[in-house]
Amino acid sequence: MGFGLYVYKFRHGDVVPMDEALVRELLEPYAPYDVPDGERVEWVRAADGSEADVCIDHGVSFDRPGRGVLDIIAELTRRTGAAVLLMNKHQTTIVTRESDRKHLPEELQENAVVVPPPAMTGQAIELVIRPQPEPRSRPVLPPFPYHPDPIGSGSVIAADERCACCGHDQGWIYTGPVYGQDLPDGRVCPYCIAFGTAAKRHGMFFNEVCADQVPDEAATKISERTPGFSTWQDWGWPTHCDDGTAFLGAVGAEEMAPYPDAVDHLRQQFTEGNREPGWIDDFLHSLHKDDQPTAYLFRCRTCGTHLARADFS
Ligand SMILES: [Zn+2]
Ligand SMILES: [Zn+2]
């Protein structure tokens, strides 16, 4: 099937006819033949020799326009204020003013691209119509038993970035806190965390653990081989059943509601800190996933009990 571009003017969702005299005036210089008086331009040839069949009715359509013809289409669009329709599966439309968007048929509004007149060139159209490259496929993350979903928690993000430790672009980069001395510039990949390379080469560690609460092996794994996460205050990694717990993510009152054991755990910490029950209730209600104060949810890897910590002043 041929690829075509369609230039149409819209008003309140309907096609409105374009000024035929203006269309002829704009296209005629590109017609490689004498256009008889009173007839429409049916064929254009651009400066680079590329051509397209033209069909003018309510709008102007160009069949298989070459690169140079895109310049002609851009000029037509600039001068008439019409929209360019790609008629692709995304129904992409190019308009020259944001205020034109609301005049498009509803199904075209969402994917409309605004290219202001001075920027409206054949090249700009080409950038919009050229199929976008498929998103890069990224490798599976190594397992992190103490932080099972570092992508979900935001500590690891997709990135096309070289790791400051191994020097490779692994497709993922760690965004959380890093501790240690003489740290290299730049961020590290999750593989260098998981395999202990960042700890070995640069003395990096990512979490604080109270060493007397868990076996050394677990403490080392959490500290040196587990992605951390940003908190406002420093507190040791929660432990349960003689092991470190698994960090599930930052949570607010709403996200913590399904875990009454975690809420009780927080309440208990504040009670031990001699907070008034009323203060504790207010505080628990005010917790928010994305804003201070925030709570952090953990689950025991042995018995499944949920625990929580929170930043508070
Ligand atoms: Zn690395
Ligand atoms: Zn437990």
Distance between Cα 21 and ligand 2 center (Å): 81
| Other CB atoms within 10 A of residue 168 CB | 12
Distance between Cα 195 and ligand 1 center (Å): 9
Residue environment code for 1-29, b if the CB has 16+ CB neighbours within 10 A, otherwise e = eeebbbbbbbeeeeeeebeeeebbebbee
Distance between Cα 244 and ligand 2 center (Å): 9
Distance between Cα 183 and ligand 1 center (Å): 14
Distance between Cα 241 and ligand 2 center (Å): 4
**What are the residue boundaries of the structural domains of the chain, listed by start?**
4-129, 133-230, 235-313
Distance between Cα 145 and ligand 2 center (Å): 15
Distance between Cα 303 and ligand 2 center (Å): 4
89 pLDDT above the threshold of 80: no
Antiparallel, parallel or unpaired: β 60-63 and 4-11: antiparallel
Residue 63 vs residues 5, 70, 87, 118, 295: alpha-carbon distances, Å = 7, 11, 12, 25, 59
Residue environment code for 271-293, b if the CB has 16+ CB neighbours within 10 A, otherwise e = eeeebeeeebeebbeebbeeeeb
Question: Mean pLDDT throughout 260-281?
Answer: 93
Antiparallel, parallel or unpaired: β 172-174 and 239-240: unpaired
Token representation of residue 174 = 């760690």
Question: Mean pLDDT throughout 34-60?
Answer: 92
Distance between Cα 187 and ligand 1 center (Å): 9
**Does this model's pTM top 0.85?**
no
Q: Of 63-67, 137-141, 173-177, 229-233, which gets the smallest average pLDDT?
A: 229-233
269 pLDDT above the threshold of 60: yes
Distance between Cα 29 and ligand 2 center (Å): 81
Among the bound ligands, the one closest to the CA of 197: 1
1 pLDDT above the threshold of 50: no
